[in-house]
Structure 1
Amino acid sequence: MSRFGSQGPNGKGIDDIKTKIHQEILSLMDWQHMESLAPERLRQELKALTEELIQTHKLALNETDRRLIIQGIQDEMLGLGPIEPLLSDPTVSDILVNGPYQVYAERHGKIVPTDVQFDNEAHLLRVIDRIVSRIGRRVDEMSPMVDARLPDGSRVNAVIPPLAIDGPLLSIRRFAVVPYTVQDLISFGAMTAGMAELIQGLVRARLNLLVSGGTGSGKTTLLNVMSASIPTDERIITIEDAAELQLQQPHVVRMESRPPNIEGKGEISQRDLLRNSLRMRPDRIIMGEVRGGEVLDMLQAMNTGHDGSMTTIHANSPRDALTRLEHMLGMAGLKAESRAMRQQIGSALSVVIQVSRLSDGQRKVTSLQEITGIEGDVISMQEIFRFDQTGLSPEGRVLGAFVATGIRPKFAPRLSTRGIVLSDKLFEPTQLWS
């Protein structure tokens, strides 16, 4: 039985028929002519050629099988083969390929198995090579790991043998074609309208913000949503390891780091890009994620006139995020006492926003904390909002509520001087939202 769940004539599976027609098309194609065609025209040519071969070989196929074969060949020639339907499915956020015969997809925050398979390891390797070659990267035994991206901005990571023991591994982190808005996050239950109003005010008032969270918790999504509140007359520079941000302002300069080549040369790090960006007259700098020595230059930029800059970091809590920043400063070669490092962090950053993916797949802003300065040798923080989990429903859905702690933040006067007036009711501790 083929993975399509049907059989062709003479007991042949639909997959076998598709493979043979695909091979015949490869031998018949005029590649120079095909490469000159627009993608949509090429898709039509492939459909016509496939139908002609089905007719020539007198294959007794029903309409469903015929459509599956045509679609499969179009996906193989123009797209990414078997996973192309997953890429066109808006409910799929991550695609995880564990060798040619095991493909998982994340839907609504949960990872589930699919019935998608590749023909063999060579088939999967061809798809990986097609992805990385589009952006001038290579993957082979000398360079068995690669980071790349698809034309839609989705992030791709591939690992091949000998590092991958059970066959090539492929991970695709997808991003919405149409970026989420703050209203979308409110409707998803990721935050309340009041929290959204405050975050938008923080961005417009040019406070320096740090978004903290684990893998897949929604840090980049929140950063995108936050950036929508930046005025359109500001010059924004984004710096990322793999371009993921989708800013909508007209004056955005996007830069992406470059890994070393096969000889270990030519690397351009985020730190190199950040240092260069300071000469490009930015109003704000948005760094996709700090993970190394670039943190020193980022904090210095925040402290020297680039107010309103933002970045993300991998951490499980706001306090852990600040500890990680301190460790990274040490990695950057900053030879200073811990107190001096903490003063640098405390003066550069104003707010830490923690996002989390809960056990049921929901993503929420679980804490919003203000950095108020240094007390002794400790960076002092106060929590303004948090999400309190109260339990689980019989279906496994997380139950809980957003709550204001009752603390009025010290940055409130700064917001009011920028014309951003927040209601006192926003911070009343009696306010609860489910």
Structure 2
Amino acid sequence: MTDAAALVEAVHRRVIDTIAEGPMPAVDIAGIVRTLAPLTPTHVLDDVVARVAARVHGLGPLEPLLADASVSEVMINGPGPVWIERGGTVSRSGVSLDRAAVNLVIERIVSPLGRRVDQLTPCVDGRLPDGSRVHVAVPPVAVDGPYVTIRRFVVPDVALEMFAGPPVVALLEELVDRGANLVVSGGTGAGKTTLLNALAGRVSHHQRVITIEDAAELQLEHPHVVRLEARPESREGGGAVTIRDLVRNALRMRPDRLVVGEVRGPEALDLLHALNTGHAGCLATVHANGPVDALRRLAALATAADERLGVEAVRDHVTAAIDAVVHLGRSPGGTRRIAAVAEVTDHDRVRLLAGDTEVCSPIARAARLEAEP
């Protein structure tokens, strides 16, 4: 048996027939290769073992893509080619899946999460063991599906200099040091979480940081971090723990700094209450098209949480709570840069402090905390 593809198929079948509980060691897979094809060269043997192991363990044929540190997103648009994002550019990978392979990938994603995905529950969000976010959609909502989107979050050691020029970096560091409440805004894939990670890494090591996320992604280089992660409801329909629940509980855990991965629901109201009652130095992200739009979105989310509050009252809360908005943009080539740093001055009004390279105005708003020495 000399054809590598045929050898992979034969070894895969033998492994499936003989595998016990737990993953089969590579040395055992190699033994099967030697049994079926004793004269296999070492370099071919190593390749066959790697390809069979990828099929049997983890997410099967997606494993080589997930092992590539340059791949930031993996997208399955139903049976056919698998698409990837690398360096901000989307392209076809060399992997193609039939429907059976797509279903196998979904099963391996959903089963460890204790979730189900079917016609009654056609969409599922979750997190892979390496921290990557995953979304699965199946028919009837996925017309040509199933669809799988894996957003890998292998946090690189990204410095603030990757997002802006030195003067703007110095401004951001000053805002963090002085305990300003900052909102990072931008579109999907703009790099909000990566920038949030870089900003939070600037927090003093003498302070206690509590992170709150829908799916834990932040990896802070900080000695005193408490990480909280939301939990979806169980198959029985209970046991859900929302971001709003976590914000409320975090306030009882003596936070010096709150870091909220993404504000997108009623937790906006609880966060605004917290920031207006002495909990300064918060960092959070929100999907928005610009600094003013970010403030309006926060106000809309908070208003929806409690309709008894008037719009003007909520806008007052936003103006008092948020010191500045850092907005991220993404070029057609995929480069992520800070488009604006804007200081909040009034209802839906901001004053531009900086673009991506230069500072145009000093900070006018009073700092909430003393700057760290």
Alignment TM-score, normalising by the size of structure 2? 0.92
Is there any run of 5+ residues in structure 2 with no aligned partner, and where? none
Q: Which of 174, 186, 193 is 1:213 aligned to?
A: 186
C-alpha distance in 1 between matches for 2:256 and 2:241: 23
Report the secondary structure of 2:202's partner residue: coil
The alignment status of 1:137 with 2:127, answered yes or no, reads: no
2:238 match: 265
Q: Which of 11, 23, 27 is 1:44 aligned to?
A: 27
Q: Which of 368, 373, 384 is 2:353 aligned to?
A: 384
Report the secondary structure of 2:358's partner residue: strand
Q: Superposition pairs for residues 280-299 of structure 1, below 5 Å?
A: 280-299=253-272
Q: Which of 75, 81, 103 is 1:96 aligned to?
A: 75
TM-aligned CA distance change 1:229 to 1:65, over 3 Å: same
Amino acid at match of 1:73: V
1:38-72 deviation per Cα after TM superposition (whole angstroms, max 9, x unaligned)? x7x823332333333333xx7xx566554432211
Larger displacement relative to structure 2 (254-263 or 226-235): 254-263
The alignment status of 1:20 with 2:3, answered yes or no, reads: no
Q: Is the 8 A contact 2:272 2:318 kept in 1?
A: yes
TM-aligned CA distance change 1:54 to 1:124, over 3 Å: farther
The alignment status of 1:418 with 2:371, answered yes or no, reads: yes
Q: Is the 8 A contact 2:179 2:370 kept in 1?
A: no
Amino acid at match of 1:52: T
TM-aligned CA distance change 1:334 to 1:207, over 3 Å: farther
2:128 match: 150
1:3 match: none
1:398 match: none
C-alpha distance in 2 between matches for 1:177 and 1:299: 28
C-alpha distance in 2 between matches for 1:304 and 1:327: 20
Report the secondary structure of 1:404's partner residue: coil
1:276-329 deviation per Cα after TM superposition (whole angstroms, max 9, x unaligned)? 111122111111101111000011111112110111000010011111111112
Cα distance, 1:221 vs. partner? 0.2
C-alpha distance in 2 between matches for 1:143 and 1:164: 12
Cα distance, 1:180 vs. partner? 2.1
C-alpha distance in 2 between matches for 1:113 and 1:151: 25
TM-aligned CA distance change 1:54 to 1:177, over 3 Å: farther
C-alpha distance in 2 between matches for 1:237 and 1:416: 18
TM-aligned CA distance change 1:335 to 1:170, over 3 Å: same
Cα distance, 1:415 vs. partner? 8.7
1:399 match: none
Q: CA RMSD of the aligned region, Å?
A: 2.2
Q: Superposition pairs for residues 304-323 of structure 1, below 5 Å?
A: 304-323=277-296
Is there any run of 5+ residues in structure 1 with no aligned partner, and where? 1-7, 388-401, 421-434
Q: Is the 8 A contact 1:179 1:224 kept in 2?
A: no
1:172 match: 150
Q: Is the 8 A contact 2:180 2:367 kept in 1?
A: no
2:58 match: 79
TM-aligned CA distance change 1:417 to 1:25, over 3 Å: closer
Q: Is the 8 A contact 1:228 1:248 kept in 2?
A: yes
1:219-262 deviation per Cα after TM superposition (whole angstroms, max 9, x unaligned)? 00000000111112222111111111111212211111122233
Report the secondary structure of 1:266's partner residue: coil
1:129-160 deviation per Cα after TM superposition (whole angstroms, max 9, x unaligned)? 21232333333344322111122211111112
Amino acid at match of 2:271: M
Segments ≥4 residues shifted beyond 6 Å: none
C-alpha distance in 2 between matches for 1:415 and 1:265: 40
The alignment status of 1:159 with 2:137, answered yes or no, reads: yes
TM-aligned CA distance change 1:416 to 1:239, over 3 Å: closer
1:372-410 deviation per Cα after TM superposition (whole angstroms, max 9, x unaligned)? 2x3xxx3431001124xxxxxxxxxxxxxx3333x2220
The alignment of Structure 1 onto Structure 2 pairs a total of residues equal to: 373
Amino acid at match of 2:257: R
The alignment status of 1:204 with 2:182, answered yes or no, reads: no
Q: Superposition pairs for residues 223-372 of structure 1, below 5 Å?
A: 223-372=196-345
C-alpha distance in 2 between matches for 1:139 and 1:54: 40
1:432 match: none
The alignment status of 1:409 with 2:358, answered yes or no, reads: no
Q: Is the 8 A contact 1:142 1:262 kept in 2?
A: no
Larger displacement relative to structure 2 (283-292 or 136-145): 136-145
Alignment TM-score, normalising by the size of structure 1? 0.80
Report the secondary structure of 2:84's partner residue: strand
Larger RCO: Structure 1 or Structure 2 (Cα < 8 Å, ≥ 6 residues apart)? Answer: 2
Larger displacement relative to structure 2 (351-360 or 145-154): 145-154
Q: Highest Rg: 1 or 2? A: 1
